[in-house]
Amino acid sequence: MREAKTNFDFQRDFAKTKAEIGAGTNHKKFELKTKKGKFMKTGIQTLTATVALLSLAAVAQAQFTPDDLVVLRDGTGSGALTSAGTAIFLDEYTTAANGYVTSVLIPSTGSSALVNSGTATSEGALNLSANGQYLVVAGYNANAGTASIASTTSAAVPRGIATVDASGNYNLAVTTSSFYSGNNIRSGASDGGGNYWGAGAASGTVYLGTGTPATVQSTKVNTRVIQDISGNLYFSTSSGSGTPASLGIDMINGTPTSSSSAVNLINTGSSSSPYDFAFNSSLTTAYIADSDAYTSSSGIGGVEKWSLVGSTWTFQYSLSMGTNGAVGLAVNFSGANPIIYATSANGASLFTVTDTGSSATGTLLDTAGANEAFRGLDFAPTPEPSACALIGLGLAGLWSFQRRNRKS
């Protein structure tokens, strides 16, 4: 379990380090040399100090590290999880065991609040926007403690979709007072350009962006996780009701902002319980988190691997995450053997497994604390290109300034 460290802790440490630098008590890389009554630093000291300060400033803002994991956690740990509105945290982890780094608290009171039901295991999906710059989370625009929140009307308790960027900046992007009324909102997707789509237990697929809110498809009203992948919308469903009748992963062509339709892409079977999913870049391999308990005899549950054989998606095998099923999922496809990260269906564990074949088994990375639950999972967002450029220009300018000083 992690040792909780809040944004306040990092800001306090940052202020302390700045004070130490000013007092000359920190590491010698910050020591000053004098020349002709002016403070001077060697080029390497200037660069090192600048990078250190930029890094500390980033930490003070709870900036995520690229390629780290981010887990959506429900609950503060102070009381048992209930069906009432519950505070949401985004916990950053390295990919190593017990690799907790920091947490970003989503506002749980006030006009920009977003909370989950503490006991609704289908809620709390976490996805990256299509451009990779934002984490996208859906929930209820209400204060923590709102009773039986999933059964409230959306007129009384609006449903919302929010984003968090690489610096930990939170934005309640859109709300709706008509869709997902009286039931769960579970997931949100975004193109990163101001367009958002929702998934939940009612209302089907809904567009909630800069344009007019609209129903994209309602023939399959009960959906779970939605993503914008390569310019198309994909969602998981465990409901046989509606069209298409198959369970699994459905696709909506393009990213429509008005009425459209869905087709079943991967039929995971009538007894399956699909949640989060990930495709490789060529869209020929898919991993699907299934909340059913994994058993070696059935070969289902856990994380399922599917391959596109010809024009047909074909089940290969399931990977064990212990005896529990999986709900949250993130996959690193960069190597010969994909590395899979998943949260367990009971909300208790964060696992990893390297896909070396059907006999590969999961390794525990961390467990949720008492009165807390892990839900969705994805990789950390990447900074906007403009932010990276500004940091680079700042470093280049400081280096150039120092070179001019050294020539005097």
> pLDDT band at residue 240, thresholds of 50, 70 and 90?
confident
CA 365 to chain centroid, in Å, comes to 17
> pLDDT band at residue 242, thresholds of 50, 70 and 90?
confident
Q: Answer yes or no: is pLDDT of 396 > 50.
A: no
β-bridge pairing 339-344 and 326-332: antiparallel
The per-residue pLDDT for range 328-352, each reduced to its tens digit, is 999 999 999 999 999 999 999 999 9
Residue 230 or residue 390, greater confidence: 230
Q: Which H, E and C letters describe 107-168, residue by residue?
A: CCCCCCCCEEECCCCCCCCEEECCCCCEEEEEEECCCCCCCCHHHCCCCCCCEEEEEEECCC
Min mean pLDDT across 187-196, 237-246, 320-329, 383-392 is at 383-392
Q: Rounded to two decimals, what is the model's pTM?
A: 0.82
Which residue's entry shows tokens 């990375």? 365
Nearest-angstrom CA–CA distance, 134 and 165: 5
Tokens of 90: 């985004």
Closest C-alpha among 334, 363, 335, 360 to residue 349: 363
> pLDDT band at residue 385, thresholds of 50, 70 and 90?
confident
Min mean pLDDT across 86-95, 335-344, 384-393 is at 384-393
Q: What is the pLDDT of residue 298?
A: 67
Nearest-angstrom CA–CA distance, 288 and 72: 18
Show me where the domains of the chain are located: 7-61+388-407, 69-382
Closest C-alpha among 175, 226, 176 to residue 200: 226
Check whether domain 69-382 has CATH 3.40.50.150, yes or no: no
Q: What is the pLDDT of residue 388?
A: 55
- Torsion, Cα of 381, 383, 385, 390 (10° steps): 180
Torsion 337-378-134-253 (CA) sign: positive
Which of 50-64, 166-180, 392-406 is most confident? 166-180
